């Protein structure tokens, strides 16, 4: 077979291919090659160079249309659609996946995919991968990373491989991205004594005492607590409506279940709200863009209850807390209280465990915490539910005994009514 001669021209990406001109360029790991039906004259070479520059600019700005840019050319080798390299396929997959997730989640997904590609080999052909390659990826990832991190990477990479399988690029690879078993850690709630130390010794400022009290007696997630606003509180302080949460990137979004929920308030939470409201009502309302999903948002004009500016010593601080700033404040409060360190999310566990120990209704507690049903409570807090089993048995038996006394009486009443009729 004869080999066609390809000669350099002095123009980047422009080659003389036989008696024609070839245009060659790369974008995001995808190679584009087009053979133009033009003689390789100096004028035509300059024209091809300008065409190549215009194509690259169109690709970068998202306006590239191959049919319009090269209407009379024969694609000699365009890997945009035919390449099976992992890096090329991943570049096609990312924007398709991005339309269904938030920008913050997209960033995490892209990081996970990049790590997996670097580990397994970015230029590997996906149809040449074997189950052993995926198993080796698991080995390499777990060698230097936490189980939770590796499981996130594997879950993300398996989603990419399932997409490759659905589009016919490979077969039976995704199922080998088996996640590692992660040990279950029981909640570590505050005891009442620890809570009291946290309030009395750890919290020097009234705002901090109110914030911790509200967190413990409502079970709000930290992001929900930090995004709670004056406008979310009922006028009689009987309840709050959880409408938004804040992320580390200062992005406001709807709560985890994508719907609002109402939390009824215990007396300590009501007192805490009075303190926070008194502080918040002096602030000007701010317009918060709350993302409902990647493509839709709403604007809430509110006064957030907790603001770093209340206790700030510096002049330039954020208007709102982000989770990392709250973590730092919480660590300082715990250190001053001299109690065992815990992450601030344990205030949510504290709320659940205190309610369950007091034999609260499971469905009610689950609704207060924003769970779809109470199966999560049973799964996560089984130890606190089981700890009340003996007394619960006695309570049920006592109720059954009372029923035995009531039922015959009701039956007798019914019989008497029947005779009378």
Query: What ranges do the domains of the chain cover?
Result: 6-81, 86-176, 192-385
168 vs 388: which has the higher pLDDT: 168
pLDDT digits (tens, 9 = 90+) for 153-178: 999 999 999 999 999 999 999 999 99
* Residue 261 to residue 370: CA distance in whole angstroms: 7
CATH class, 192-385 region: mainly alpha
What is the Cα 417 distance to its own chain's centre? 63
How many residues are listed for the chain in this entry?
Answer: 421
* Residue 109 to residue 75: CA distance in whole angstroms: 33
Asked whether the predicted pLDDT for residue 77 surpasses 50, the reply is no
Asked whether the predicted pLDDT for residue 81 surpasses 80, the reply is no
Which pLDDT score is estimated for 383?
80
pLDDT digits (tens, 9 = 90+) for 240-252: 999 999 998 889 9
Asked whether the predicted pLDDT for residue 37 surpasses 90, the reply is no
Q: What angle, 0 to 180 degrees and rounded to 10, lies between the N-to-C axes of helices 147-166 and 86-98?
A: 100
CATH code that applies to domain 86-176: 1.10.150.130
Average pLDDT over residues 110-116: 95
The CB-side HSE value for 3 (13 A sphere, CA atoms) comes to 3
pLDDT-wise least confident of 3-12, 242-251, 276-285: 3-12
Which pLDDT score is estimated for 80?
46
* Residue 349 to residue 145: CA distance in whole angstroms: 27
Backbone angles phi, psi at 117, to 5 degrees: -65, -40
Provide the phi-psi class of 25: left if phi over 0, else alpha when psi is between -120 and 50, else beta.
beta
Which pLDDT score is estimated for 405?
64
Average pLDDT over residues 406-414: 50
Quote the percentage of the chain above a pLDDT of 70: 88
Asked whether the predicted pLDDT for residue 184 surpasses 80, the reply is no
Which pLDDT score is estimated for 74?
56
If pLDDT is split at 50, 70 and 90, which confidence band does 256 have?
confident
What is the Cα 23 distance to its own chain's centre? 43
Q: Which of 37-51, 52-66, 100-114, 324-338 has the highest mean pLDDT?
A: 324-338
Which pLDDT score is estimated for 385?
74
Which pLDDT score is estimated for 111?
94
Which pLDDT score is estimated for 76?
47
Average pLDDT, the chain: 86
Which pLDDT score is estimated for 418?
44
Quote the percentage of the chain above a pLDDT of 90: 49
pLDDT digits (tens, 9 = 90+) for 286-316: 999 999 888 889 999 999 999 998 887 777 7
Question: Which pTM was predicted?
Answer: 0.69
Provide the phi-psi class of 334: left if phi over 0, else alpha when psi is between -120 and 50, else beta.
alpha
Asked whether the domain spanning 192-385 has the same topology as the one spanning 86-176, the reply is no
Which of 187, 189, 184, 82 shows the shortest CA–CA distance to 126? Answer: 82
């Amino acid at each position: 077979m004869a080999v066609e001669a390809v000669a350099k021209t002095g123009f980047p990406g422009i080659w003389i291919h036989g008696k024609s001109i070839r245009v060659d360029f790369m974008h995001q790991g995808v190679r584009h090659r087009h053979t133009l039906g033009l003689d390789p004259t100096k004028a035509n070479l300059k024209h091809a160079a300008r065409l190549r520059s215009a194509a690259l600019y169109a690709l970068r700005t998202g306006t590239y249309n191959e049919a319009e840019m090269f209407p009379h050319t024969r694609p000699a080798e365009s890997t945009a659609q035919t390449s099976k390299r992992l890096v090329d396929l991943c570049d096609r997959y990312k924007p398709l996946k991005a339309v269904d997730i938030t920008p913050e989640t997209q960033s995490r997904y892209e990081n996970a995919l990049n790590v997996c590609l670097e580990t397994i080999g970015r230029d590997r052909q996906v149809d040449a991968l074997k189950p052993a390659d995926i198993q080796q990826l698991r080995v390499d990832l777990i060698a230097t990373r936490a189980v939770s991190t590796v499981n996130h990477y594997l879950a993300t990479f398996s989603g990419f491989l399932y997409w490759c399988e659905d589009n016919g690029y490979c077969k039976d690879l995704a199922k080998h991205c088996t996640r590692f078993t992660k040990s279950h850690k029981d909640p570590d709630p505050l005891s009442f004594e620890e809570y009291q130390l946290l309030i009395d010794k750890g919290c020097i400022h009234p705002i901090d005492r109110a914030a911790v009290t509200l967190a413990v007696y409502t079970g709000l997630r930290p992001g929900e607590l930090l995004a709670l606003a004056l406008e979310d509180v009922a006028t009689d302080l009987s309840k709050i409506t959880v409408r938004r949460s804040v992320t580390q990137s200062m992005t406001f979004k709807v709560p985890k279940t994508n719907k609002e929920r109402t939390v009824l308030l215990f007396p300590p939470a009501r007192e805490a709200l009075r303190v926070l409201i008194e502080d918040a009502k002096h602030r000007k309302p701010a317009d918060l863009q709350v993302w409902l999903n990647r493509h839709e948002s709403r604007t809430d004009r509110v006064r957030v209850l907790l603001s770093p500016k209340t206790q700030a010593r510096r002049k330039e601080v954020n208007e709102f807390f982000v989770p990392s700033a709250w973590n730092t404040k919480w660590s300082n409060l715990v250190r001053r209280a001299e109690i065992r360190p815990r992450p601030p999310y344990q205030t949510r566990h504290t709320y659940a465990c205190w309610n369950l120990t007091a034999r609260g209704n499971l469905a009610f507690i689950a609704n207060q915490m924003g769970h779809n049903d109470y199966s999560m409570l049973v799964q996560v807090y089984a130890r606190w539910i089981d700890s009340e089993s003996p007394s619960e048995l006695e309570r049920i038996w006592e109720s059954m005994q009372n029923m035995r006394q009531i039922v015959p009486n009701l039956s007798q009443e019914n019989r008497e009514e029947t005779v009378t009729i």
